């Protein structure tokens, strides 16, 4: 009779104790097996679906299969098919492009206000949403950060987006973040409109940019018979911006963008942070329905009652219709960037749905902050690399997630393992210092605290100095990532390069002591110089590594011996070695270089 496969169904995660019971193991044995595979766990720790699957496979349970349970009834799943009553809505437009190609300047000019003054290094640090009126119609703009570090944010914003305005400088052409934006837009099936900016600058070449986009990225201009709208503009002077807005609205009309209005409001969280006196401050983008003051909403593992609502300019609003971004207060805790939100009838329903969502979410981060993919790497190469432990603190939750995601995207070739010991929103605290000093959950060394757009109070700075904890504060995201990258490079073993310079066969052995030897021989190839290294080889087997102290030729000290010459060598050794006539010395130079990621 064939063995039947046992199926274990879980809703997103499973406790170590539960898994032990399901596998018929004692908790002690399961924890021991996990430890052998590089996973430090407790009975109450929860493992997400991926991690639990890896554990089952690694433990050799071929007759056990893990399956996901269906989502609990009533859990927030806001995507739905539009009804026949769906009404036209404003387009949601993401401004994307390379750093310094003029994304923020374009929005500044459109909004007729300055926002760049508060940015570090001229780079937008958070995703922001605005609305512009043109020809008595509204357009919603998402301004996404320009650096590759915010790939996760930009991916989310592309998924929110109907149309992507790809800003490319006429004097600079396509750059790395331009390519990222193209990929994100295509993956989200968003329409691309290219705004070729800085046409007022010397060196601007619109045709060159159009040709580059057409030949290399298959974005063929309409003027050349393609289907990609391209508009030469100057964000600085405002030239052709009305034409750009006209074409955005025309594209929106072709796409027939609609939303349901007479349903409970739903949409996405696009930012969240904590403000003194206000609590959780959350930016929402309504996708369907109408959100009003006093409504209860659920987002991920938290909920709230809308206490205040402001538009992008900070003016009070009583309601928000589809495609409208608003800033609200009233959430009990901070929802995460990209969380779906949905309106519910009352607080009782909100609490029930939050409980269901929490059950579905993996809680591994509460105990280890290690994902399933991290654990897989640990299990496959637990002793092959070094650990880089970090704590991330930032001013808003979107930045926390972006920094964490960007750190994990750094390719270390598996030699350095990045572990996020902790993360959160707000200034560096005493708890952060204590956590950093205690190191990672498995006790493998202390952690570096990285702060982004946060402060290090004087008292906490003194505590960090006392406990020898490194705290590094940054205002520009790529400076933080470059620092982390440099710190990880210090953990890499150096690159060693050896170049063979010559070979000698021994014809005589004259004196051998504990750490020196005097020998003679004939140079077979290359050349030999003092202070070079050599490998002692006998019968094809390498016996030891030695160093040439000095050379003699015809009983006179020499600077070198070359192929065909006979001479004597004074050799330094780290151990007593038995040299024999017929042994070979293979000479080489060795260079050690610091490696880069």
Please give the average per-residue pLDDT across 470-497, as a whole number. Answer: 87
> For 289-337, how does the pLDDT look when each residue is reduced to its tens digit (9 = 90+)?
999 999 999 998 899 999 999 998 889 999 999 999 999 999 999 887 7
Residue 348 lies in a domain: yes
The reported pLDDT for the residue numbered 587 is 95
- Whether residues 281 and 325 fall in one domain: yes
The domain boundary residue, chosen from 489, 524, 541? 489
Nearest-CA neighbor of 284 among 300, 272, 302? 272
- In this structure, what CATH number is given to the domain that contains residue 525? 2.40.30.10
CATH of the domain at 385: 3.40.50.10050
Report the distance separating Cα 36 and Cα 134, nearest Å: 64
Residues 201-250 have pLDDT tens digits of: 999 999 999 999 999 999 999 999 999 999 999 999 999 999 999 999 99
Summarised one tens digit per residue, pLDDT across range 91-117 is 999 888 887 888 888 988 888 743 334
Range of the domain at 562: 495-593
The residue from 489, 505, 532 where one domain ends is: 489
Task: Give yes or no: residues 549 and 416 share one domain.
Answer: no
**Assigned domain for 76 exists:** no
* 304 and 352 share one domain: yes
pLDDT of residue 144: 64
The pLDDT score that the predictor gives to residue 152 is 47
> What was the pLDDT predicted at 411?
77
**C-alpha distances in Å from residue 294, one per residue of 188, 308, 326, 332:** 33, 8, 14, 14
Do 234 and 133 lie in one domain? The reply is yes
In total, how many domains does the chain have?
Answer: 5
SS (H, E, C) 123-160: ECCCCEEEEEEECCEEEEEEECCCCHHHHHHHHHHHHH
Q: Three-state DSSP class for 326? A: strand
Q: Decide if 410 is inside a domain.
A: yes
User: Looking at the structure, do residues 219 and 286 belong to the same domain, yes or no?
Assistant: no
Sign, Cα dihedral of 514, 516, 518, 522? positive
Let me know if residue 82 belongs to a domain: no
Tens digit of pLDDT for each residue in 512-561?
887 889 999 999 999 999 989 999 999 889 888 899 999 999 889 999 99
For residue 507, the model assigns a pLDDT of 94
Q: How many CB atoms lie within 10 A of CB 436?
A: 25
Give the model confidence (pLDDT) of 455-464 as tens digits.
999 999 988 8
Band of residue 41 on the pLDDT scale cut at 50, 70, 90: low
pLDDT band of residue 126 (cuts 50, 70, 90) is low
User: Could you tell me if 507 and 521 are in contact, meaning their C-beta atoms sit under 8 angstroms apart?
Assistant: yes
pLDDT value of residue 359: 61
Residue 77 lies in a domain: no
Same-domain check for residues 303 and 402: no
The whole-number pLDDT of residue 12 equals 57
Nearest CA to 573 among 535, 538, 539, 526? 535
The CA–CA distances, whole Å, from 414 to 383, 410, 493 equal 11, 10, 12
Position 79 in a domain: no
373 and 352 in a single domain? The answer is: no
Phi-psi region of 277 (alpha: psi -120 to 50; beta: other; left: phi over 0): left
| Cβ atoms of residues 465 and 390 within 8 Å | no
The verdict on residue 271 lying in a domain is yes
Q: Domain check: are 126 and 213 in the same one?
A: yes
Mean pLDDT of 255-272: 89
| Domain identity same for 483 and 519 | no
* pLDDT band at residue 364 under the 50/70/90 scheme: very low
pLDDT reading at 499 higher than 70: yes
Check whether residue 281 and residue 143 sit in a common domain.
Answer: no
Do 322 and 230 sit in the same domain of this protein?
Answer: no
Give residue 55's pLDDT band: very low, low, confident or very high (50, 70, 90).
confident
Q: What pLDDT score does 558 carry?
A: 92
* Residue 182 banded pLDDT, cuts 50, 70, 90: confident
Nearest to residue 423, comparing CAs of 449, 446, 459?
Answer: 449
Last residue of a domain, one of 236, 256, 276: 256
> Domain for residue 83, yes or no?
no
Do 356 and 371 lie in one domain? The reply is no
What pLDDT is attached to residue 222?
92
Give the angle 263-341-142 at the CA atoms, nearest 5°. Answer: 100
């Amino acid at each position: 009779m064939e063995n039947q496969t046992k199926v274990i169904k879980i809703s997103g995660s499973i406790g170590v104790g539960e898994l032990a019971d399901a596998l018929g193991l004692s908790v002690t044995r399961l924890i021991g097996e996990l430890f052998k595979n590089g996973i430090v766990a407790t009975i109450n720790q929860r493992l997400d679906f991926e991690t639990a699957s890896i554990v089952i496979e690694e433990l050799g349970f071929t007759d056990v299969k893990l399956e996901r349970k269906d989502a609990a009834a009533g859990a927030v799943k806001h995507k739905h098919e539009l009804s026949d009553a769906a009404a036209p809505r404003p387009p949601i437009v993401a401004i994307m492009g390379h750093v310094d190609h003029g994304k923020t300047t374009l929005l500044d000019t459109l909004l007729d206000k300055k926002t760049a003054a508060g940015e570090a290094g001229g780079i937008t640090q958070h995703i922001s949403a605005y609305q512009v009126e043109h020809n008595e119609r509204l357009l919603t703009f998402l301004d996404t950060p320009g650096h590759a570090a915010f790939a996760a944010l930009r991916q989310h914003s592309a998924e929110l987006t109907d149309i992507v305005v790809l800003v490319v400088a006429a004097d600079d052409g396509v750059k790395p973040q331009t390519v990222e934006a193209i990929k994100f837009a295509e993956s989200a099936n968003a329409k691309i409109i290219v705004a070729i900016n800085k046409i007022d600058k010397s060196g601007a070449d619109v045709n060159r940019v159009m040709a580059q986009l057409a030949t290399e990225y298959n974005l063929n201009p309409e003027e050349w018979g393609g289907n990609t709208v391209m508009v030469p503009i100057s964000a600085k002077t405002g030239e052709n911006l009305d034409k750009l807005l006209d074409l955005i609205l025309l594209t929106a009309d072709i796409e027939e963008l609609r939303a349901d209005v007479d349903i409970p409001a739903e949409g996405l969280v696009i930012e969240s942070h904590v403000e003194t006196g206000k609590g959780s401050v959350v930016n929402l983008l309504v996708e369907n329905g109408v959100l009003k003051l006093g409504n209860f909403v659920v987002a991920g593992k938290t909920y709230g009652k809308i206490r205040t609502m402001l538009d992008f300019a900070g003016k009070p609003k009583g309601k928000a219709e589809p495609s409208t971004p608003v800033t609200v207060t009233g959430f009990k805790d901070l929802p995460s960037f990209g969380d779906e939100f949905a309106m519910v009838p009352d607080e009782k329903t909100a609490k029930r749905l939050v409980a269901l969502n929490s059950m579905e979410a993996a809680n591994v981060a509460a105990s280890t902050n290690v994902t399933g993919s991290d654990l897989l790497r640990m299990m496959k190469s637990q002793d092959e690399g070094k650990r880089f432990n970090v704590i991330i603190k930032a001013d808003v939750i979107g930045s926390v997630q972006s920094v964490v995601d960007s750190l994990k995207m750094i390719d270390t070739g598996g030699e350095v393992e990045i572990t996020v010991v902790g993360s959160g929103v707000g200034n560096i605290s005493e708890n952060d210092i204590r956590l950093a000093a205690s190191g990672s959950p498995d006790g493998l060394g202390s952690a570096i605290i990285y702060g982004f757009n946060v402060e290090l109070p004087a008292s906490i700075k003194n505590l960090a100095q006392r406990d020898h904890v490194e705290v590094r504060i940054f205002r520009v995201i790529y400076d933080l990532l470059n620092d982390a990258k440099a710190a990880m490079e210090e953990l890499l073993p150096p690159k060693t390069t050896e170049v063979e310079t010559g070979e000698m066969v021994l014809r005589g052995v004259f004196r051998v002591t504990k750490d020196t030897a005097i020998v003679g021989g004939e140079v077979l190839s290359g050349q030999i110089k003092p202070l070079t290294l050599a490998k002692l080889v006998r019968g094809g087997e390498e016996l030891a590594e030695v160093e040439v102290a000095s050379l003699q030729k015809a009983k006179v000290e020499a600077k070198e011996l070359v192929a065909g010459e006979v001479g004597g060598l004074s050799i330094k050794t780290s151990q007593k070695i038995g040299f024999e006539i017929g042994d070979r010395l293979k000479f080489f130079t060795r260079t050690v270089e610091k490696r880069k990621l």
